[in-house]
Structures are given as structure tokens and as C-alpha cells.
A and B are shown apart, each in its own frame.
Chain A
Amino acid sequence: MPYVIERKPLTLLERLYIPQIIAGMRVTLKHFVSPNVTMEYPEQRPAIPAGYRGVPTLVMDPNGREKCVSCQLCEFVCPPKAIRITPGEIPADQPDRAHVEKGPKAFDIDMLRCIYCGLCQEVCPEEAIFLQNQYSMTGFTRAEMVNDKARLYELGGTLPDEHFKWDKKKAAAEHGNAH
């Protein structure tokens, strides 16, 4: 509902204008001597708050094993189609992952397409893809802006894991109940 704001007529002192300007100049001078509010970027970096959605990365579990099982859910959910996964088998020389069904042969995220929406992280059933705190992503060529699997793991590093899903599955399988 519209309503009318009562505007008080200016007092004589306000209409003289000069006292008001002087008061304003005092405020300006106060800002002049107060410390800067900006950050000198390349030297000083802001503290990244928890839950920040930076560059999407792939992470390993605490035992240094690849978590991604190349289910391709992130590829399907990705709105700008920035993710491209080539599924592959688990290599034979990794016995500690032998019970895992699949792994990605190639995993590319095109950072020129990525919109940092975080849907890939949300959809991942393995908690293998995380948007972490890297906020500055630059390159001189288009090819440089495509993060391949090695680069994604390099950026992602290792995150703590609470579930060790595939260890549990393996233990369960060894006890005879396949589910």
C-alpha cells in the first residue's frame, strides 16, 4: 500500500548549506585517515570460507586411491556440459581397488564452460568431485583451460573420508553377502 513520507522542511541551518558541507568534509577527512578497506590482491589473498565453490576437482581417499568410479552422473547433470568422462576398467596393477567396478580412463573438465554451479559435487555418489577453494583459473590457450584427470587430482589432493564405501563392500563380499 502506497504511503506518503512526510518530508520536514529544512531548518535555517540546513538551508545555509555551509555547515552541512563542513560536516560532510569532516566525514570525508575521517575516511582519509582511516585504514584502507581493500586488499592488495596478488600479495595478499583473502581467506576462503568453508563451503566455497571454486574450481571443481577430483579427490582421492585417505589411502591415496581414486574415488571416482566413472558413473558419469556428473557428466549428465552438468548444465553447460563441461565434463567429459571416458570410462575404463580398473588397471590390473592396483589390487587395492580390484573390487571397485570401474574407474575413469580420462576425465576432462572444460573450465571455459564450467559455471561453478556445484551440481557435480552434489550428484556424485562417491564424494569424488569437490568444488574446492581455488578461485583463480587462468590460461593463455583454450587447451590450457581444460583440466585433465592428472591436473584434477593434482588440484584436488586428498580429502578425509568417513565412509570407505568400497572397503566395506569388499569386507562384506569376503563375508559372503554380496550386498
Chain B
Amino acid sequence: MNTIVHLWNSLPLVPQMIIKGLAVIGVMFPIGGACSLIERKVSAKMQGRPGPNRAMPFWFAWVPVLGPFLQRLGLFHLMADGAKMFFKEDSLPGHVNKFYFLLAPVVAMIPALTTVTVVPFGAYLGDGGQLVPLVLANLDVGILAVFAVSSLGVYSLILAGWASNSKYPFLGGVRASAQLISYELSMTLSVLPVFLWINAPGGTGSLSFFHVVQAQSGTGLSWDGAWFIFYMPVSAVVFLVSLFAETNRLPFDMAEGEADLVGGFHTEYGSMKWGLFFVAEYSHMMVGSGMFILLFLGGWNPLPWLPLASLVGWLHHVTGWAFTVAPVFVGVLSIAIFLGKVLGFIFGFMVVRWTVPRFRYDQVMKLGWQKLLPLAIGNLIFYALMIAAIQLNLGWPTYLALTAGAIAALAIGLIVPRRQRAL
């Protein structure tokens, strides 16, 4: 063990980074693939059918219990699908702009894989009991980097839609661009209160996700032990809705629109080029739900008011085993907690998919611009005033008055604009 650590530390920085990056991609891709299988299985269960459970290499049937189990699980459908995508004829329609047509799936993958680098997915106890984040690049601008890079994702949809040179992809591309741009605003505005809160004047400021999780890792019944979703619920809801819109998931799948646009921007794509769009979409989903968990659901902390460090300390205290505080164990534990939350969140994506009917395109725009954006702005103003009031120590009457004012404003906003039909 020590020799491995020694060998690792003696490696130059660049190979270290490359190995780390490959390791993360090596975990991301199978999980992305597994998500597509989970999606099929979960969708099937929600519709009262068993889902994929047939494919199996014939020799695998000889494995006693595991063989039939994996067959029922549909694991080989996943592999068959992947293999199919790799070996299918990669058709290139004659009427497309070849350069941009080929460029679009590549452009789709770049933001999908780049945003992963700044999302921490775990932490371990370093020397002196300090939590050290497990992240490829612990950028100080974390959230800004994610927003900046992930909004590049829309270029791939526009490129794909435009270069395909036919009407359904074109409509899909136009819709995608309008939708992603509208919801990006609400999304960004909705997370600002979180960063206002943790970067209160006087401390060192940071926009990194690690900092956000640290701000949710208080012990006891202290204020910062609660996750942000508890005292910034509106932010969380706006962020969540924007997240659905940004990842093109139902009920916001305007850009793909199987019902009305065949496949939207990827109508003309096939085989692995289509597969790349697919993987990119799932990566966006995973990064997006990872972001939501880091920002509002306490990251790798198992429960509110029970941060990772306390859990590990408690484990060490109860069992007395030395390895429970070893960096490897803590790191794996934190990754497991985080991934568990991400997978639970993706399950939530699927439940929503089979619950909420698709919006019409004008409803999507109306919801984005007329509902979420004012809500996000109002929310930002409320938290700005609240943080200022707390900083100035104005006392509870002021806080309560501010909260009452916000609720009154929300109620007026809900009741007054009754001229247009409700969404």
C-alpha cells in the first residue's frame, strides 16, 4: 500500500492528472450506460411491464444463479445496444454540411466531459483531520466554470440542427437554443443566494463547490448544519426546474420532441454519432444532479446535521478499526454516498418523466420567462436583503418582516396576473 502511495506521489503532475481524468471518465461512462439501462427498466416498471430481460450470450446461461439474474436484469441488452451502436453503419446523409455535421457530436461531448472536472465527488480526511476534496480540478471559480462550459453544450445542438439541413432537426435546434438560453438565466440567478450566503463579507470568498459543501457540514443543531434546500427552498425549486430544462429531459424535451419532431436535432444522426449525443445527455444529467446535490443537498454528507467527518469519527469510535479513518476508506465512503444521492436523483428524473406531461413550446417559454425568472430575481433580492439584515444584526422583527414581505409578494404575484390562462 505504502509503495503504491509512494509511487503515485513520485509521478510527475501531468501523468497523475491524466490517470485521474481517465479514472473519472472510466467511472462516468459505465454509469452513463447503466443509467440508460436503469431508465429502460424503471420506465418499464412504471408502466407495469418487466422491461428488457431477454438478451444473453448463450454460454452465460450455464452460470447457475448469476446468469439468469443478469438476464432478468437486462444487463446484456445494455452491452448489445452499445455494441450495436459501435458496429452499425455510420451513414452520412448527402444533404448535410459534412464538416459541421461531424463536428456536432464532438462538440456535445466536450462540455459534458469538461464540467465533470470541477465537480467534487467525494472527500477524504487529510493530515490533521482536514477534509480534502476529491476533484480533478478544485477551481476557485467552480460554479462559474460549470455554467460557462455547460452553456457551450447548446452549440452542439444548434450545429447538429443546422448542419442536418432538414426541417425537423432545424426546428429542434432552434427550440434547443431558445430553451437553453432562457433557462440558463433562472438557473444562474437561483444559485446566487447560496453563494451570497457562504461568501458573507469578512471571510475569504470562493465559488468552489467544496466550499458550498463545507458550509453545509455543521454539526449539532447549528445553522450551517442544515442543507441549503431547507432554508432556500425557492432557489432549489427554480434550480431544479431549470435543470430539467437544461438537460432536455421531459417535460422539457422540446429539442428532441419524439412526439412532434421525430428526434429533433439528432433526427439525421445514427450509430455512434447518435450515441455520443446520448452519452452527452446522460453526462449532463449526472453533472446537473451532482451540482444540485452539492449545492442544496449537502454533497457527500450523509444526513443533515451529520457531516461526513462526524460519521467517520463515530464509525472509528464504535468499531475501533484504524482503517475507518484511512483516506482510502473515507474517500470511497464519501464517493458512495455522493453517487448514491446522484443515482437517487436520476431516479427522480425518471419519476418526473413518467408523471408530468410535456409542455407546449410556448408554455415552456412562458414558464421560463414569466414565472421562473421573476421568481429567481425576487428570491435573489429577498436573500440579499436578508443577508444584509443579518450582517447588520437588525434582529428578529426585521427578519420576520422581510419573510412576511416576501411571502406577500409571492402571493400577489400568484393571484394578480390572472389575465392569461394558467399554465
CA distance A34 to B237 in the complex (A): 29
Given A10-B422, A15-B422 in contact, is the A32-B415 Cβ separation under 8 Å? no
Contact with A along B355-382 (1 / 0, CB 8 A): 1100000000000000000000000000
Quick one: given A15-B414, A17-B423, A18-B237, are A40 and B50 in contact (CB under 8 Å)? Answer: yes
In the complex, what distance in Å separates the CA atom of A15 from the CA atom of B415? 9
Mask: chain B, 29-69; 1 = CB below 8 Å from A; 0 = not = 00000000000001001111110010000000000000000
A28 and B50 form a contact (CB under 8 A): no
Which secondary structure characterizes the binding site on chain B?
Answer: loop
Q: How far is the CA of A112 from the CA of B47 in the complex (A)?
A: 34
Q: Are A36 and B422 in contact (CB under 8 A)?
A: no
Binary interface encoding of chain A residues 129-170 relative to chain B, with 1 for a CB under 8 A from any of its CBs, else 0: 000000000000000000000000000000000000000000
Bound complex: CA A27 to CA B47 (Å): 11
Is there contact, CB below 8 Å, between B415 and A12? yes
Shortest distance in angstroms between A13's beta carbon and chain B's nearest beta carbon? 10
Given known A10-B422, A32-B42, contact A21–B352 (CB-CB < 8 A):
yes
Least CB separation from A17: chain B residue: B423
Most buried by B among A18, A24, A25, A28: A28
Report yes or no: B355 in contact with A25, Cβ–Cβ below 8 A: yes
From the candidates A18, A28, A38, name the one contacting B354 in the complex (CB within 8 A).
A28
Among the listed A10, A15, A28, which residue makes an inter-chain contact with B351, where contact means beta carbons less than 8 Å apart? A28
Give B76-120 interface residues, CB cut-off 8 Å to A.
none
How many residues on chain B are close to A (CB under 8 Å)?
A: 19
Query: Smallest Cβ distance from B356 to chain A, in angstroms?
Result: 6
| Distance to closest chain A CB from B41 (angstroms) | 11
Given known A-B contacts A16-B414, A25-B355, A37 and B422 have beta carbons under 8 A apart: no
Which residue of chain B is the closest to A21 with respect to CB atoms?
A: B356
- Contact, CB under 8 Å: B355 / A27: yes
A25–chain B nearest beta-carbon distance, Å: 5
Alpha-carbon gap, A36 to B415, bound state (A): 43
CB distance from A7 to the nearest CB of B (A): 10
Main secondary structure of the interface of A (DSSP, over half): helix
The CA-CA distance from A31 to B49 in the complex, in Å, is 10
CA distance A130 to B279 in the complex (A): 55
| B-side contacts of A40, CB under 8 Å | 50, 53
**Residues of chain A within 8 A of B49, CB atoms compared:** 36-38
**Across the two chains, which residue of chain A brings its CB closest to B356?**
A21
B3-27 interface code vs A (CB 8 A; 1 in, 0 out): 0000000000000000000000000
Whether B355 lies near A32 (C-beta < 8 A) is no
> Closest CB-CB distance, A64 to chain B, in whole Å?
42
Question: Scoring B residues 382 to 423 as 1 if CB is less than 8 Å from chain A, else 0, what string do you get?
Answer: 000000000000000000000000000000001100100011
Q: How distant is the Cα of A89 from the Cα of B202 in the complex, in angstroms?
A: 111
Please determine whether A24 and B355 come into contact, CB atoms closer than 8 angstroms.
Answer: yes
Closest residue on chain B to residue A29 by CB atoms: B351
B422: A residues at CB distance < 8 A: 9-10, 14-15
Check A31–B46 contact: CB distance below 8 A. yes
**What separation, in Å, do the CA atoms of A43 and B351 have in the docked complex?**
30
How far, in Å, is B422 (CB) from chain A's closest CB?
5
**Complex alpha-carbon distance, A16 and B257, angstroms:** 26
Known A15-B414, A21-B352, A25-B351: A32·B50 in contact at CB below 8 Å = no
Distance between B213 CB and nearest chain A CB, rounded to angstroms: 26
Please give me the residue from chain A that is nearest to B352 by CB atom: A25
In the bound complex, residues from chain B placing their C-beta under 8 Å from that of A18 are: 237
Q: With a CB–CB cut-off of 8 A, which chain A residues contact B354?
A: 28
A37 vs B51: C-alpha distance in the bound complex, in angstroms? 12
Candidate in B42, B45, B53 with the most chain A CB atoms within 10 angstroms: B45
Q: Which residues of B contact A21 (CB under 8 A)?
A: 352, 355-356
In chain B, what residue has the closest Cβ to A35? B48
Which listed residue, A14, A28, A35, touches B46 by the CB 8 Å rule? A28
Interface residues of A in 36-77 (CB under 8 A from B): 36-38, 40
For residue B351, give the distance in angstroms from its CB to the closest CB of chain A. Answer: 5
For B53, give the chain A residue with the smallest CB separation: A40
**A25-B352, A27-B355, A28-B351 provided; 12 other pairs, C-beta below 8 A?**
A18-B237, A24-B355, A25-B355, A28-B46, A28-B355, A29-B351, A31-B47, A35-B48, A36-B48, A36-B49, A36-B50, A37-B48
Please, could you name 11 A-B residue pairs with CB atoms under 8 Å apart, sorted by A?
A12-B414, A12-B415, A15-B414, A21-B355, A25-B355, A28-B46, A28-B351, A31-B48, A34-B48, A36-B48, A40-B53
Q: Top 6 A-B pairs ranked by shortest CB distance? A: A37-B48, A24-B355, A38-B49, A28-B355, A10-B422, A25-B355
Give the B-binding residues of A (Cβ under 8 A). 9-10, 12, 14-18, 21, 24-25, 27-29, 31-32, 34-38, 40
